[in-house]
Amino acid sequence: MARTGRPPKPLEEHKRTGTFNVTRHGSKTALAVVEPAPVMPHEADPGDVFAQVMAEGVVWLGRTDLPALAMLQSLLEERKPLRADALAGSTEARKALRDLDRQLIPLLGELGFNPAARARLGLAEVKTQSKLEELRSRQSH
């Protein structure tokens, strides 16, 4: 049966405008709050970042995700020398790098490695500390 009327607002929109209500939107649909990741330097190796993320534990991945994770790791390893060649000026390497990135981005999304995918999975939203929370955390240390 086709839907009629306006589409529902996303939970993030309700939270941003202050209209989120647990009784109406349900606590099961409420997203967990996580601290934002530190900004990685531009020169960071994606393979090292991937290893660090996996070592810290990604709770939403299961055994059935192992083939996709192996493919992701392989693509990230393949990306490193291509990027070095592209930065050295090789146009062929630059084209190959862009093609590889077009394969990587959807795979990352399917595995929940971007905010939109995590929101779709109902996992987490990133919340920055308010000034008051920042002051309280500094006082406690």
Quote the number of domains for the chain.
1
| CA–CA separation, 118 and 77 (whole Å) | 24
| CA–CA separation, 98 and 10 (whole Å) | 32
Q: Is residue 16 part of a domain?
A: no
Q: For residue 27, what pLDDT is reported?
A: 60
DSSP-derived letter for residue 124 is E
Q: Is residue 118 part of a domain?
A: yes
Length of the chain: 141
Nearest residue to 49 (alpha-carbon basis) of 28, 85, 79: 79
Q: Is residue 111 part of a domain?
A: yes
Q: For residue 46, what pLDDT is reported?
A: 66
Residue ranges in the chain modelled with pLDDT below 70: 1-3, 11-12, 25-47, 56-57, 121-129
Q: For residue 109, what pLDDT is reported?
A: 84
> What's this model's pTM, rounded to 2 decimal places?
0.55
Residue 83: give the domain boundaries. Answer: 46-122
- Determine the distance from the C-alpha atom of residue 55 to the mean position of all C-alpha atoms in its chain, rounded to a whole number: 16
Q: For residue 18, what pLDDT is reported?
A: 78
Q: For residue 40, what pLDDT is reported?
A: 58
Q: Is residue 97 part of a domain?
A: yes
Q: Is residue 109 part of a domain?
A: yes
| CA–CA separation, 38 and 128 (whole Å) | 11
